[in-house]
Amino acid sequence: MTRPKELTRLQTHFRWFKRRVCNRVTAGVIGAAFSLGFGPRVQLRSPSLRAKIKEVRYGSVLIWCSWRLDSRTRPYASSDEDKAVIKKKLRIVLGKRVMSIEARGPALDLTIRFAQGFVLHVFCDHVPGNPSFDGNWQVHVGDLTIADRPGGILNTSRSNEYVFSNNSLSAPKPYRPSRRRS
């Protein structure tokens, strides 16, 4: 379970997204999973990673669990639709600014509010036991990755990639910032 200190730190990282424009939507690859990209593209410095990925977005949100996108007046899209429909409908957030992003409850469900009244509700339905997948969402800011695992457990790492697997709940060791000596 997430402790209040972790939730405060998470909210601090979420502040980076405020007022950022969504400039990339990737959907329709794996079920209802999708990602949103924000900010400028940056080149990877690691030669080993550069061979795999040419460039990444400075900030992104990757959703692996159930979700619904609402307009001001009605539900607009959901994870319960066909992949092709999801891909088309999610484009509505392209060019829209993030007004706020927050995590709530023991599972860390996300709420992302966009300009023009669109709200993305993310329901962390991968829970401890025998989940179909070992993650609910990931947030990337620069080289920092924060991942919500079943049960509202946060994993934090510093790298340009974070790998989930279908068979294992193992993950990289959590990132612990070093303390500077004065």
Q: Which residues contact 134 (CB under 8 A, 6 or more apart)?
A: 126, 149, 150, 164, 165, 166, 168, 169, 171
Please list the ranges in the chain whose pLDDT falls under 50.
54-57, 160-182
In a domain, 178, yes or no: no
Read off the tokens for 115: 């300009």
Q: What is the pLDDT of residue 168?
A: 30
In a domain, 70, yes or no: yes
What is the pTM for the complete model shown? 0.76
The residue range of the domain holding 125 is 4-158
Count up the domains in the chain and report the number: 1
In a domain, 179, yes or no: no
| pLDDT tens per residue across span 134-143 | 889 999 887 7
